Protein backbone atom coordinates (compact mmCIF):
# COMPACT_ATOMS: atom_id res chain seq x y z
CA UNK A 1 0.00 0.00 0.00
CA UNK A 2 1.33 3.44 -0.92
CA UNK A 3 0.77 6.15 1.64
CA UNK A 4 2.66 8.78 -0.33
CA UNK A 5 1.95 8.71 -4.03
CA UNK A 6 4.50 9.66 -6.63
CA UNK A 7 2.78 11.66 -9.34
CA UNK A 8 3.73 12.81 -12.81
CA UNK A 9 3.82 16.45 -11.69
CA UNK A 10 6.84 15.55 -9.51
CA UNK A 11 8.88 14.41 -12.50
CA UNK A 12 11.66 16.84 -13.29
CA UNK A 13 12.67 15.19 -16.55
CA UNK A 14 16.15 14.40 -15.22
CA UNK A 15 16.35 10.60 -14.93
CA UNK A 16 18.81 10.37 -12.03
CA UNK A 17 17.03 12.99 -9.93
CA UNK A 18 13.62 11.46 -10.63
CA UNK A 19 14.89 7.97 -9.77
CA UNK A 20 16.30 9.24 -6.47
CA UNK A 21 13.09 11.11 -5.66
CA UNK A 22 11.04 7.97 -6.37
CA UNK A 23 13.34 5.97 -4.11
CA UNK A 24 12.84 8.50 -1.30
CA UNK A 25 9.08 8.05 -1.66
CA UNK A 26 9.49 4.26 -1.62
CA UNK A 27 11.48 4.51 1.62
CA UNK A 28 8.90 6.85 3.16
CA UNK A 29 6.16 4.34 2.24
CA UNK A 30 8.19 1.45 3.66
CA UNK A 31 8.71 3.34 6.93
CA UNK A 32 5.06 4.32 7.20
CA UNK A 33 3.88 0.75 6.56
CA UNK A 34 6.23 -0.72 9.17
CA UNK A 35 5.42 1.98 11.72
CA UNK A 36 1.67 1.51 11.35
CA UNK A 37 1.83 -2.25 11.85
CA UNK A 38 3.56 -1.80 15.21
CA UNK A 39 4.40 -5.43 15.66
CA UNK A 40 7.56 -6.63 17.36
CA UNK A 41 9.15 -7.81 14.12
CA UNK A 42 8.54 -4.43 12.52
CA UNK A 43 10.46 -2.44 15.16
CA UNK A 44 13.69 -3.53 13.51
CA UNK A 45 12.29 -2.66 10.08
CA UNK A 46 11.30 0.79 11.36
CA UNK A 47 14.77 1.40 12.80
CA UNK A 48 16.55 0.09 9.70
CA UNK A 49 14.33 2.15 7.40
CA UNK A 50 14.87 5.33 9.41
CA UNK A 51 18.62 4.82 9.09
CA UNK A 52 18.33 4.06 5.39
CA UNK A 53 16.04 7.03 4.79
CA UNK A 54 18.24 9.53 6.61
CA UNK A 55 21.34 8.23 4.83
CA UNK A 56 19.64 8.38 1.45
CA UNK A 57 18.38 11.93 2.04
CA UNK A 58 21.97 13.03 2.65
CA UNK A 59 23.24 11.09 -0.40
CA UNK A 60 20.53 12.49 -2.65
CA UNK A 61 21.14 16.06 -1.56
CA UNK A 62 24.89 15.67 -2.12
CA UNK A 63 24.30 14.24 -5.59
CA UNK A 64 21.86 17.01 -6.44
CA UNK A 65 24.23 19.72 -5.19
CA UNK A 66 27.13 18.26 -7.20
CA UNK A 67 24.96 18.37 -10.31
CA UNK A 68 24.04 21.98 -9.55
CA UNK A 69 27.70 22.90 -9.12
CA UNK A 70 28.59 21.21 -12.43
CA UNK A 71 25.99 23.32 -14.21
CA UNK A 72 26.83 26.56 -12.41
CA UNK A 73 23.41 26.86 -10.80
CA UNK A 74 23.31 30.43 -9.44
CA UNK A 75 21.02 29.57 -6.50
CA UNK A 76 23.14 26.67 -5.26
CA UNK A 77 23.89 28.23 -1.86
CA UNK A 78 20.24 28.94 -1.06
CA UNK A 79 19.23 25.50 -2.35
CA UNK A 80 21.95 23.92 -0.20
CA UNK A 81 20.58 25.81 2.82
CA UNK A 82 17.14 24.27 2.20
CA UNK A 83 18.74 20.82 2.02
CA UNK A 84 20.65 21.45 5.24
CA UNK A 85 17.46 22.52 6.99
CA UNK A 86 15.56 19.38 5.95
CA UNK A 87 18.52 17.17 6.83
CA UNK A 88 18.69 18.73 10.30
CA UNK A 89 14.93 18.34 10.81
CA UNK A 90 15.00 14.72 9.65
CA UNK A 91 18.00 13.89 11.84
CA UNK A 92 16.35 15.57 14.82
CA UNK A 93 13.15 13.53 14.36
CA UNK A 94 15.16 10.33 13.94
CA UNK A 95 17.29 11.08 17.03
CA UNK A 96 14.16 11.80 19.05
CA UNK A 97 12.66 8.50 17.92
CA UNK A 98 15.80 6.53 18.82
CA UNK A 99 16.05 8.31 22.18
CA UNK A 100 12.59 7.05 23.04
CA UNK A 101 11.00 10.48 23.00
CA UNK A 102 7.39 11.02 22.04
CA UNK A 103 8.07 11.12 18.32
CA UNK A 104 6.16 8.43 16.52
CA UNK A 105 7.82 6.85 13.52
CA UNK A 106 4.55 7.56 11.71
CA UNK A 107 5.39 11.29 11.88
CA UNK A 108 8.77 11.06 10.12
CA UNK A 109 7.63 9.72 6.74
CA UNK A 110 4.70 12.16 6.25
CA UNK A 111 6.92 15.08 7.23
CA UNK A 112 9.56 14.06 4.72
CA UNK A 113 7.10 13.24 1.90
CA UNK A 114 5.26 16.54 2.29
CA UNK A 115 8.50 18.51 2.39
CA UNK A 116 9.85 16.70 -0.67
CA UNK A 117 6.69 17.31 -2.69
CA UNK A 118 6.88 21.05 -2.06
CA UNK A 119 10.64 21.18 -2.58
CA UNK A 120 10.53 19.25 -5.85
CA UNK A 121 7.74 21.41 -7.26
CA UNK A 122 9.20 24.73 -6.15
CA UNK A 123 12.98 24.31 -6.12
CA UNK A 124 14.10 21.26 -8.06
CA UNK A 125 11.95 22.09 -11.09
CA UNK A 126 13.66 25.48 -11.32
CA UNK A 127 17.10 23.86 -11.28
CA UNK A 128 16.29 21.14 -13.81
CA UNK A 129 14.82 23.76 -16.12
CA UNK A 130 18.25 25.39 -16.18
CA UNK A 131 19.91 22.05 -17.04
CA UNK A 132 17.52 21.52 -19.94
CA UNK A 133 18.32 24.99 -21.29
CA UNK A 134 22.08 24.32 -21.23
Q: Taking the domains of the chain in order of start, what are their residue ranges?
A: 13-133
Q: What is the pLDDT of residue 40?
A: 54
96-119 per-position pLDDT tens digit:
888 887 667 778 888 888 999 999
Using CA atoms in the order 65, 70, 72, 73, what is the torsion angle rounded to 10 degrees? -30
Contact of 131 with 71, CB cutoff 8 Å: yes
Mean pLDDT across the chain, nearest whole number?
88
Tell me the C-alpha to C-alpha distance, in Å, between residue 21 and each of 43, 54, 106: 25, 13, 20
Full DSSP string of 36-103: HH--HHHHHHHHHHHHHHHHHHHHHHHHHHHHHHHTT-TTHHHHHHHHHHHHHHHHHHHHHHHTT-S-
* CATH number for domain 13-133, candidates 3.40.50.720, 3.40.720.10, 3.40.30.10, 1.20.120.50: 1.20.120.50
Q: What is the pLDDT of residues 11-30, one digit of tens each?
A: 999 999 999 999 999 999 99
Lowest mean pLDDT across 32-41, 60-69, 70-79, 123-132: 32-41
**pTM score, whole prediction:** 0.88
Reply yes or no on whether the pLDDT at 41 is more than 70. Answer: no
Amino acid sequence: MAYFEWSVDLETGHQDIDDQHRHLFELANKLQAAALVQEEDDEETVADTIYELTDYVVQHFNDEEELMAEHGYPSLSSHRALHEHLTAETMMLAASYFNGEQVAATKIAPFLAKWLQGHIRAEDMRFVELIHQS
